[in-house]
Structure 1
Amino acid sequence: MAPIAKPLVVLAGPIHPDGHTLLETEARVTVCPDLTEDGVIAAARAAEGILFRIRPNCSERLMSACKQLKVIGRHGVGLDTVDLPAATRLGIPVVHAPGSNSDAVAEHAVMLMLVAAKKTLAIDRATRKGEWVERRALGIFELKGKTLGVIGVGNIGRRVAHIARAFGMRVLGCDPYVAPDELRRRETEPVSLDQLLAQSDVITVHTPLTTETQHIINAGTIAKMKPGVVFVNTCRGKTQDERALFEGLTRGRIKAAGLDVWEEEPTPVDHPLLNLETVVCTSHIAGVSDEANRNIAVTVVGEMLRVLRGEKPQVLGNPALWPRLTHLT
């Protein structure tokens, strides 16, 4: 009797070696060299699983063209690059790795706060030029005793809150999907968005990108912020209106910003925000570390293999599909 062939899984980009090795224990694995939509379709026509990284988006057209698909994996936490309604209509489970890079993102967010508070980049440049003038210290402030507002108190937001409290900060939390008592357990004071904006010396955003959160930071919300606030964003670029953010920074409502995410990525080099010394910039790298890369790869591969074995995943990105997954044990 011929052995049963392992299912084919296509990787839309390389993953951590430990995740790749784990996947190869139960699947045939190929890394797609062409990360256009057509390139992935060509590589995955016979695939039972596709693991997406940054490109391309997981579209309805792509999924429909791959008739053998049994599972979609998203290398990371966010699912905004996956057409979840289409996956649900097509009966394809979508798995991902929530919480797997939370420590990396939380540390990065706090780093951006500190760099903004301590004017680290400006002082670094001045020091290299031999400029040890007294005014170099103007505007530096401590986090201790300040109020931090956390918008979105999930896996990452709660970690940021924990770190901030160790600095001696008061921490406010706004999250309509978390009950007040749970927000308190997550080391934040439950408040409305307007209360958070008005009281916070530092604001950090940790929400998924949804229709509710797109441009949650806009001209209206910036106008409600405490003058001289520091703004940090490490979640998704489209949660911020960058034109309004630029206006807030240049007019002094916002003292400084630490941005890891952008409305358009890669960010154009002539973007107005990049010309401001009050903006600390990184390139959507908050969730990246050696540890996080391994955690993400091993977690999402494990979830994909569960589905391919006929088992239910532990986390499902399109939970409306659960009633149709009776074939999984």
Structure 2
Amino acid sequence: MTPLTHPAGSAGFRPPVIVCAGDEFISADLLARALEGAGVEAEFRRIDSRWPTEPFAAFDGVREAAGDPARLAELVRGADALVTHLAPLTADVLAAGGLRVVGVTRGGPVNVDVPAATAAGTLVVHLPGRNLGAVAEFCVGTMICAMRGLPSAAIRLASGHWDAGGFRYERTGLELRAATVGLVGLGAVGLRVAELLRAFGSTVLAHDPYASAEAAERVGVRLVELPELLSGSDVVSVHARLTPETKQMVDAAALAAMRPGAVLVNTARGELVDTRAVDAALESGHLRAAVLDVFDPEPPAPDDPLLRRPNVFATPHLAGASRQVAEESAARIAAEVATVLSGGAPTNCVNPEVLDAGAAP
């Protein structure tokens, strides 16, 4: 591909025009500073949505997006690149711009109409595993909280009740060093969780038909079939990708197969778990506790009975929220976009056929 830019001051130098479409987590200013830090000299156009103060939504052909497509279409006219977290890159927006590259600070760029981008000759680069550190720490931390009954103890104390009964043997929970943890999915996040659990001394099982045996061995994980994982784990943590085959894979039958008194953790996708079956398993006492950071739908109904259970640790999709995720995502996507603008090939691209077309004679 022909480089767009040349060193400043050289003949024919034209700074690229880059739209930075941010939000209240990864702002347009943060994206622009990251691009400057990557050595990109550009004319920046900035816009910020009000996510997460205002929820994201689905637009024409895209989902989990935030911002005004019409305003975005105005900004991309004449631009060479766009860098964003959640901006709605619909077919109309892409058609308005003639963008060379779109950089999305997410593992899955669901806010981009990828077929439309490909048809327009626009590369879409993204960041697989961008929040794996934050999610992995969240998983391990909440496992400890759920096994030890800490959320309900904290709620009772805040309401004025000193509950020393947590020292009764039958109410005490396991330490991680004594626990067997089953990971349903051993991708980037699952591997990082396994690394952290290894430091605690946990026994770790994993089920993933696509997992690398070498990677599993490296982090001390034993790969097993799902029934063995469910029956043999004190904690089951879900890290699978959402596909038609994995939708509601943790259903009533899977929960019944789990060890009595086990803990369920889901930070992946709400659609992977049948929450009504989880509610029933908690009501019967078969499950000790559940950690739920994702729901189907999001947000869940305010009167959802699952949220009111004292043995449910429910959070509003916060596992990936950290300053490191925001800052490092901006820096990584800036480096990818800088590579493309200088004529190189990005590391992570969802439509590499655009690269192939550009290289054709």
After TM superposition, the score normalised by the length of structure 2 is 0.80
Which of 15, 20, 43 is 1:10 aligned to?
Answer: 20
Partner of 1:247: 280
Partner of 1:132: 162
- From the superposition, tell whether residues 207 and 258 of structure 1 become closer, same or farther in structure 2 (CA, over 3 Å): same
Q: Which runs of 5+ in 1 are unaligned?
A: none
Alignment of 1:1-329 (within 5 A): 3-13=13-23, 15=26, 19-24=31-36, 25-33=40-48, 35-54=67-86, 56=88, 58-63=89-94, 65-138=95-168, 139-142=171-174, 143-319=176-352, 321-326=354-359
For 1:186 and 1:219, locate their aligned partners in 2 and report how far apart those are by CA, in whole Å: 30
Contact residue 150 and residue 173 of structure 1 kept, 8 A:
yes
Say which SS state the counterpart of residue 109 (structure 1) adopts. Answer: helix
For 1:326 and 1:177, locate their aligned partners in 2 and report how far apart those are by CA, in whole Å: 32
The AA in structure 1 aligned to 2:280 is E
- Give per-residue Cα distances to partners, 1:288-317, cap 9 Å, x unaligned: 212221111100121122222221101223
Say which SS state the counterpart of residue 66 (structure 1) adopts. Answer: helix
Contact residue 157 and residue 163 of structure 2 kept, 8 A:
no
Please report how far the alpha carbon of residue 198 of structure 1 lies from its aligned counterpart in structure 2 after TM superposition.
2.0
For 1:2 and 1:182, locate their aligned partners in 2 and report how far apart those are by CA, in whole Å: 48
Contact residue 158 and residue 187 of structure 1 kept, 8 A:
no
- Larger deviation: 303-312 or 260-269? 260-269
Please report how far the alpha carbon of residue 322 of structure 1 lies from its aligned counterpart in structure 2 after TM superposition.
4.9
- Larger deviation: 208-217 or 94-103? 208-217
Contact residue 8 and residue 46 of structure 1 kept, 8 A:
no
The AA in structure 2 aligned to 1:78 is G
- Larger deviation: 247-256 or 199-208? 247-256
Q: Which runs of 5+ in 2 are unaligned?
A: 1-10, 50-66
- Larger deviation: 24-33 or 286-295? 24-33
Please report how far the alpha carbon of residue 22 of structure 1 lies from its aligned counterpart in structure 2 after TM superposition.
2.9
For 2:117 and 2:79, locate their aligned partners in 1 and report how far apart those are by CA, in whole Å: 15
Q: How many residues align?
A: 325
Contact residue 146 and residue 291 of structure 2 kept, 8 A:
yes
Percentage of pairs with the same residue: 34
For 2:219 and 2:354, locate their aligned partners in 1 and report how far apart those are by CA, in whole Å: 30
Alignment root-mean-square deviation, CA: 2.6
After TM superposition, the score normalised by the length of structure 1 is 0.87
Say which SS state the counterpart of residue 178 (structure 2) adopts. Answer: coil
Please report how far the alpha carbon of residue 18 of structure 1 lies from its aligned counterpart in structure 2 after TM superposition.
5.2
For 1:194 and 1:81, locate their aligned partners in 2 and report how far apart those are by CA, in whole Å: 36
Say which SS state the counterpart of residue 21 (structure 2) adopts. Answer: strand
For 1:322 and 1:277, locate their aligned partners in 2 and report how far apart those are by CA, in whole Å: 52
Say which SS state the counterpart of residue 14 (structure 2) adopts. Answer: coil
- From the superposition, tell whether residues 224 and 51 of structure 1 become closer, same or farther in structure 2 (CA, over 3 Å): farther
- Larger deviation: 213-222 or 232-241? 213-222
Please report how far the alpha carbon of residue 233 of structure 1 lies from its aligned counterpart in structure 2 after TM superposition.
1.4
Contact residue 180 and residue 190 of structure 1 kept, 8 A:
yes
The AA in structure 2 aligned to 1:47 is A
- From the superposition, tell whether residues 90 and 249 of structure 1 become closer, same or farther in structure 2 (CA, over 3 Å): farther
Please report how far the alpha carbon of residue 282 of structure 1 lies from its aligned counterpart in structure 2 after TM superposition.
1.6
For 1:124 and 1:83, locate their aligned partners in 2 and report how far apart those are by CA, in whole Å: 44
The AA in structure 1 aligned to 2:17 is P
Please report how far the alpha carbon of residue 265 of structure 1 lies from its aligned counterpart in structure 2 after TM superposition.
2.7
